[in-house]
A and B are shown apart, each in its own frame.
Chain A
Amino acid sequence: MKFTWFNLMPWPHLPEDFREKHRSVWVDIPSSLYDPKKGHEVYNTYLDQLEYADSLGYDGIGVNEHHANAYGLMPSPNIMAATLARRTSRAALVVLGNSIALYNPPIRVAEEFAMLDVISGGRLVAGFPVGTSMDTNYAYGTVPALTREKYAEAHELIMRAWAADEPFAFNGRYTQMRYVNCWPKPIQAPRPPVFIPGGGSIETYDFCIENDYAYSYLSFTGYKRAQLLMDGFWDRVDEMGADRSPYRAGFAQTICVAETDEEAKELYAEHVNYFFNRCLHVYPGYGDAPGYRTIKTIKKGALSQYTRSSLGALGKLTWEELVADGHIIAGSPETVVEKMKELITGLKVGNIFCLLHVGNMTNEKTRLSTRLFAEEVMPKLQNMWPEWEHDERFWIHPMEDARQTSVPLAATGGAE
């Protein structure tokens, strides 16, 4: 199993009446709600937590990309990963990912990812999302019906740039370059492991399976709701004649660990409520720009979380209902181990993106939950897929004798 500690980096200071006063946490949320001086504390606390996760033995630490979004404060995940590359020396840097349709020219991604891989000694996991409609179409202005072909072209350019030993010309519809010449190149040759976030577009299944990329379902609705979608993925794996390595797939899960089930509710319920009520308050008109999904995917009816009216209803659920329906996995280490086993075997996934910071959770609580998961839960989940123990296609291959960077602040105990 590979556990990646993931922080969405939400803005923790959304007002009580946010839902009533504003229609969306994303795209048109007024930036007057952001306070840069408080933001200084927020960013540094979140980065400390990622370093702390590295020190506790998580396999990966994860960052992602969103725009005009108050629950995801990382317009540039590569800046975050760059700070982590210098202050950690063991965990994979899971950048999930760069929305390659939004970089002009997208060779920029090949270059920056290569820089991260080189600085970190070969610890980069390279994520290539198509990007949500909110980010890609509404916030960044990409034409919805052309998003996927722009993405495909950018992907081709990046992979060719990494693989090539000589400059070459690239005549695309969206990018034309007379001299494609990627300096530096990544340590992990010909490419770092690639993760593709997906939300139910069936074209993405095939793309991952054909290229040995890990399909990563980043849902906020929990593992029980994910069953149909992940079954669809594994059916497609079988149809295409690929092997069933669990490392082909990953899942993001909100997890809250305390000493007891009761304590979990007491400590974390308010923060979970903040997440579902304020962070996921997205105006449905931004959910799915017409043309963003292919007709084939719409016909299949397996649409992402944002198109379901049920998402808005999550904020109304009680703690007990959220736990019972698997939207969150919460409780004592024993409870969490049992539920995690259900998730891992049910969805057949080898990669878990652990959402252990939730909403406006305080630093102390985040570290408690993070430590308990690392010490009491992770060790009991290590041997879930013994037959695939040596499958190295989907994870990092750091160089030997990479430089050990300075001891992270978090490991000195300074912030605890």
Chain B
Amino acid sequence: MNNLTIESRMVDIGTQDRGRAPVEVCEAGQGPDLVFLHGAGGLMPNDRFFLALAEQFRVHAPLLPGYGNSEGEDALKDMLDTTLHTGDVIDALGLTGAPLVGHSMGGMIAAELAALAPNDVGQLVLIAPAGLWLDEHPVEDLFAKLPFELPALLFHDVALGESLMTAGMDLEDPEFLAEFLIISARRLGMAGKILFPIPDRGLSRRLYRIKAKTLILWGANDKLINPIYGDAFAAGIANSALKVIPEAGHLVNQEKPAALVDAIATLVNAG
């Protein structure tokens, strides 16, 4: 791996006069542009997947309001608000038409955007996306989990999950804990507007509109969203292929970054 560092900048989304806050965009790498939408947990520190992607692409990862330095989450109430906001950010970055990759909640937003503006998204990668609901396979309730329960829920390799999720954390330090509580409340408070209590905001009725060439990636041992949802997405999106990655959980992007980047590069390079 090269010595890539993730840079971050604040981007004016052109509507500050209407009270909309600028958003933070993390960027790294050289090569073709690619937009990445993070999941409900946000980007990890020195995010392994981000850095692996940046070996082949110029990666732009806007942070959803409520995450990092992106503010203005109070103005986003629902799925449409959130999807249009993301579209505005991509537009402000001049990246409309770039390959769009989203993980989990970010995959849900990416799919919504591709359905809402089918002519603006040519290549779409959905990594264990949220957004559908199957009564026989209920999605686990992420919002009723305690921090210590998360590695086992989100990772195939639980030990790896524990080391990644607690990196740089001191859960014995009350000041850290207070800060952690605020960060978590901001992030998941926003995420809840599109995921709580059931992560279904009608996407199944709109999937047919997606024209993008779509790659769906799933960890075979995803305990948050059963990989069977991969079949449901594949069935709903006309031009799509599903690839299930063995020995990986919901955070398949953290567990198998190289395999994911290979698959994404193949899709993008095929044009």
Contacts and interface: CB of A to CB of B under 8 A. Distances in A.
Interface of A: 27, 137-138, 141, 143-146, 173, 283-286, 289-293, 295, 298-299, 301
B197 A141 contact: yes
Contact of A290 (B178, B192, B197, B198): B192
A289 B143 contact: yes
Contacts of B181: 298
Given A295-B186, A298-B182, A173 B145 contact: no
A285 to B, nearest CB: 4
B192 A144 contact: yes
6 contacts: A27-B144, A143-B193, A144-B189, A145-B193, A286-B144, A290-B191
A295 B197 contact: no
Given A138-B197, A285-B146, A295-B186, A146 B178 contact: no
Interface string B192-214: 11001110000000000000000
Q: Which 10 A-B pairs have the closest CB atoms?
A: A291-B189, A290-B188, A145-B189, A285-B144, A141-B197, A290-B185, A144-B192, A291-B192, A143-B196, A285-B146
Main secondary structure of the interface of B (DSSP, over half): helix
A298 B179 CA distance: 9
Contacts of B144: 27, 138, 283, 285-286, 289
Interface in B168-182: 178, 181-182
B141 to A, nearest CB: 8
A301 B198 CA distance: 30
Q: Which of B73, B77, B181, B182 counts the most A-chain CB atoms under 10 A from its CB?
A: B181
B209 to A, nearest CB: 25
Given A145-B192, A146-B77, A173-B77, A301 B178 contact: yes
A167 B185 CA distance: 40
B178 A289 contact: no
Nearest to A27: B144
Nearest to A140: B197
B143 A144 contact: yes
A284 B144 CA distance: 8
Q: Which of A137, A286, A289, A301 counts the most B-chain CB atoms under 10 A from its CB?
A: A289
Given A144-B189, A145-B190, A291-B188, 17 more contacts: A137-B143, A138-B144, A143-B192, A143-B196, A144-B196, A145-B192, A173-B77, A283-B144, A284-B146, A285-B145, A285-B146, A285-B149, A289-B144, A289-B192, A290-B192, A291-B193, A295-B185
Q: Which of B73, B143, B146, B187 counts the most A-chain CB atoms under 10 A from its CB?
A: B143
B8 interface: no
Q: Which of B182, B185, B191 counts the most A-chain CB atoms under 10 A from its CB?
A: B185
A290 B143 contact: yes
Contacts of A301: 178
B146 to A, nearest CB: 5
B121 to A, nearest CB: 27
Contacts of A144: 143, 189, 192, 196
Contacts of B73: 145
Nearest to B181: A298
Nearest to A283: B144
Contacts of A284: 146
Given A137-B196, A173-B77, A291 B182 contact: no
Contacts of A283: 144
Contacts of A295: 182, 185-186
A290 B143 CA distance: 7
A112 to B, nearest CB: 26
Q: Which of A173, A289, A290, A295 counts the most B-chain CB atoms under 10 A from its CB?
A: A290
Nearest to A28: B144
A299 B187 CA distance: 15
Q: Which of A27, A143, A292, A293 counts the most B-chain CB atoms under 10 A from its CB?
A: A143
B184 interface: yes
Contacts of B77: 146, 173
Contact of B190 (A27, A286, A291, A293): A291
Interface in B220-255: none
A143 B190 CA distance: 10
A407 B149 CA distance: 56
A96 B137 CA distance: 38
B143 to A, nearest CB: 6
